[in-house]
Amino acid sequence: MNPPSYILGLSYGYHDSAASLLRDGEIIAAAQEERFTRVKQDARFPQNAIRYCLREAGVNLNAISTVYYYENPDKKFDRIIQTYLNFGLHGLKSFVQEVPDWLLNKRHVKRALQSKFQQLFPSSAASLPHLEYIDHHESHAAAAFFPSPFQQAAVLCVDGVGEWATTSAWIGSENRLTPLWEIRFPHSLGLLYSAITYFCGFKVDSGEYKLMGLAPYGRPLYAKQIREHLIDVKEDGSFWLNMDYFDYAVGNSMITEKFSHIFSGPQREPEGLITRREFDLAASIQVVLEDTLLRLARTLRKQSGIRNLCMAGGVALNCVANGKLLASGIFDQIWVQPASGDAGGALGAALAGWHMREQAPRLPQSGDRMRATLLGSSYDDAEVAASLRGLGAVFTRLEDTKLCPHVAQLLAQGNVVGWFQGRMEFGPRALGSRSILGDARNRDMQSVMNLKIKNRESFRPFAPVVLEEHVGEWFDIDRDSPYMLFVVGVQQQKRRQTSAEDQALEGIELLKCIRSEVPAVTHIDYSARVQTVGANANPRLRELLQAFHAQTGCPVLVNTSFNVRGEPIVESPANAYLCFMRTQMDYLVVGNYLIRKSDQPALVEQGDWREEFALD
């Protein structure tokens, strides 16, 4: 029998560094560097994530045959030079700033990787793995298709930019991806959405989610201006941006002066008051994005003749648009890669390497290959106990049979519970392994969780996690949604008439209005970002939901990520305990250990911990 083949996929250098490891094509481990370094969207060489992946597989670097990097720096450099040539003198200033760095450093990723590996694993220096580049959109397409449950699918990748492509379409069949067409930089749906995000005073690459959450408060009053001035969308979904309004191609900003002329005034200051204009802009760009994606999807459905769609790229995290795409029925089934951003490129690069370069077959499977995204680090019972003891925590250990009924009771009593179990999730969402949970029926839960725990004022409700077999009773969706990637309506029979008092609310206050039996997870337009938990997904989370359902008749909980604003999701029991102690969570559960806030010794810290994390 041949020894197993191990390959590593990496993304790093821009944002969201990550590593993933395949053994004979099976996804063994994947993790983002930020979780280990505690620096949000850490872009540095993912040394901790690599070490973790090797540890998980029980191998050292010598076992890795090839490392696949998630984009091609030569092609990217070509795009950068071509863009400067096209824009002429206008880009001279940033040309002088950027190009020398490319010539000296950024272009030579293989050389940099080699030296990083040498430093990290000095004993393996004599036999470093082979290094290969995979194109950025090929990495996204591979992450979208190869782990999906489909043997055949149309694949759509939409993001900011990689080398040249900003939108690409593919046919996935068995172990092959065949490119159909692409739309190239500087014309980018992702960068258009980011430009509006920036104009509305939110951070590019992380504030896009906020813009999406803001959309239901507004009316699409600016959609006409966006279409008239910023983007020309053709019937087939292809589009063209008017670069008079955008400066990202060769400048130092997302937008030009002219941008503010069409939206009545300058951009909103970060952390400033959110006005009606921002609500309406969010609603407007959401409508334009959805319409463009629907057109692209129709074109792809027609061209491919295939009924399954796979998606990846940062824009595929727009779960409101995904919900519309699902409801449109253009495709029968849609599978979206849960790590659709560039961290997922690490996984895609490895999968593209395995199936496309090494031509390994794709074995038949039932369900997808993402293991509910539980691809990250975990801590066994003894490690948890040792860690908690070392931190001076006061805790009790509950037996398996007692744990979930007890925690369900605590939740039903209105407590907020930090929930740390098993392997960490890969991708931006916490799906019940590194989560904060609460009772979705509780009318105060939304504001309690936001203000006392997440340290933020939010216009977004939290996401519901629901037992898969009950999802149809509570939400308007007829299938599973294990990755919280589709926004759908709350079922009519669970909705409530709003009171006259509630109807008088305005702006962000609208979120306080009780619209359903699960107000903490119901947005102002009665929508919800649903996560379903089926029989094979996350056994302990499922058991907790079942216990809560048995006690209360409600199979829904609030699920939000275990972190505060600006902090990466917790990785270790120590991270979890610190976050628990810094906030007003009532209980923490790590594995079988229950920790009650009121039993804990006071946390002594120097300085204000809030300054540790830059606001996102």
Whose Cβ is closer to Fe ion: residue 345's or residue 568's? 345
Q: Which stretch binds Fe ion (CB under 5 A): 77-85, 340-348, 548-556, 586-594?
A: 340-348
Q: Could you identify the residue written with the tokens 């790229």?
A: 313
Minimum distance, C-beta of residue 11 to Fe ion, in the bound complex (Å): 9
Residues 313, 188 contacting (CB under 8 angstroms):
no
| Strand bridging mode 18-23 / 434-439 | unpaired
Q: Maximum Cα–Cα distance for the chain, whole Å? A: 74
Q: Which stretch binds Fe ion (CB under 5 A): 154-162, 425-433, 501-509, 555-563?
A: 154-162
- Which of 34, 159, 368, 439 contacts Fe ion by CB under 5 A? 159
Q: Which stretch binds Fe ion (CB under 5 A): 157-165, 216-224, 395-403, 571-579?
A: 157-165
Burial class (CB in 10 A: 0-12, 13-18, 19+), 303: middle
Whose Cβ is closer to Fe ion: residue 346's or residue 408's? 346
342 binding Fe ion? (CB under 5 A):
yes
Minimum distance, C-beta of residue 340 to Fe ion, in the bound complex (Å): 8
Whose Cβ is closer to Fe ion: residue 342's or residue 368's? 342
Whose Cβ is closer to Fe ion: residue 183's or residue 488's? 183
CA 354/CA 143 separation, integer angstroms = 12
| Strand bridging mode 463-467 / 556-561 | antiparallel
Whose Cβ is closer to Fe ion: residue 159's or residue 163's? 159
135 binding Fe ion? (CB under 5 A):
no
Whose Cβ is closer to Fe ion: residue 166's or residue 522's? 166
Residue nearest to Fe ion (CB): 159
Whose Cβ is closer to Fe ion: residue 175's or residue 188's? 188
CA 597/CA 188 separation, integer angstroms = 48
**By CB under 5 A, how many residues form the interface with Fe ion?**
2
Q: Which stretch binds Fe ion (CB under 5 A): 49-57, 151-159, 166-174, 504-512?
A: 151-159
Q: How far is CA 101 from CA 88, 97, 131, 459, in A?
A: 20, 8, 22, 40
Minimum distance, C-beta of residue 5 to Fe ion, in the bound complex (Å): 27
Going by the DSSP 8-state scheme, the letter that residue 590 receives in this structure is E
Minimum distance, C-beta of residue 140 to Fe ion, in the bound complex (Å): 6
Q: Could you identify the residue written with the tokens 């029980």?
A: 58
Residues 200, 279 contacting (CB under 8 angstroms):
no
Whose Cβ is closer to Fe ion: residue 139's or residue 522's? 139
Q: Which stretch binds Fe ion (CB under 5 A): 92-100, 216-224, 294-302, 335-343?
A: 335-343
34 binding Fe ion? (CB under 5 A):
no
What burial letters (b/e) apply to 210-245, b meaning 16+ CB within 10 Å? bbbbbbbbbebebbeebbebbbebeeebbbebebeb
Burial class (CB in 10 A: 0-12, 13-18, 19+), 39: middle
Q: Which stretch binds Fe ion (CB under 5 A): 105-113, 191-199, 336-344, 404-412?
A: 336-344
CB proximity list for 226: less than 8 A, separation 6 or greater: 196, 284, 285, 288
Binding site for Fe ion (CB under 5 A): 159, 342
